[in-house]
Chain A
Amino acid sequence: DTGVSQDPRHKITKRGQNVTFRCDPISEHNRLYWYRQTLGQGPEFLTYFQNEAQLEKSRLLSDRFSAERPKGSFSTLEIQRTEQGDSAMYLCASSSLQGSHTQYFGPGTRLTVL
């Protein structure tokens, strides 16, 4: 078991561009979560999937954000028309169905919007 992986690890983009991040969860985990972390703050919940179904979205997830998990395995998070305020660490986590309190995080994707 290699743990949760995320790609890319770093992304620098210009304001207005679209970016997409990928997350590969622990293979036997049904649930996959996205969080966002800004400097000096704890991670904040964005959305989560159970298999391929997106079950909850935070009000932090504006219309410019979309997440998918088409085959119930890996997930992508896309941000359209990026803004400087989108600069943050985007974290993915996964858990089993019964163990949603024990979420295992990936290394994160650090996004910088210029």
Chain B
Amino acid sequence: QKEVEQDPGPLSVPEGAIVSLNCTYSNSAFQYFMWYRQYSRKGPELLMYTYSSGNKEDGRFTAQVDKSSKYISLFIRDSQPSDSATYLCAVHNTDKLIFGTGTRLQVFP
């Protein structure tokens, strides 16, 4: 079993839709949970991180962690074509990051 599981998609939504991206993880000891955005042939860009359980909001983006079910979510409100990218979830494990496979998102006008 992989330590972080993520549906690779692709996920295609119309502009303005609410997008929900999800990951599961295996080790209950993980405390920090990150979301990165990666455009084609570019490096990952840190969107936000959450410590332990709860929600964190930044503009149109909300990250949510449910430690009881080992579930990580990223919600994007009012999605834009410029949000089209691959979204990677990651957990922090003793100084290194463990990533999911990434979900490819396409937002069409």
Contact = CB atoms under 8 A, between A and B. Distances in A.
Interface of A: 4, 6, 31, 33, 35, 40-45, 48, 55-56, 91, 100-108, 110
A75 B101 CA distance: 26
A103 B46 CA distance: 8
Interface of B: 4, 6, 8, 32, 34, 36, 41-46, 49, 88, 90, 92, 95-102
Contacts, number: 58
B92 A100 contact: yes
Contacts of B99: 42-44
B8 A106 contact: no
B43 A56 contact: no
Contact of B100 (A6, A42, A55, A102): A42
11 contacts: A6-B43, A35-B97, A42-B6, A42-B90, A44-B99, A45-B97, A56-B95, A56-B96, A103-B46, A105-B46, A107-B42
A8 to B, nearest CB: 14
Contacts of B6: 42
Given A40-B8, A40-B101, A101-B49, A45 B96 contact: yes
B50 to A, nearest CB: 10
A68 B19 CA distance: 41
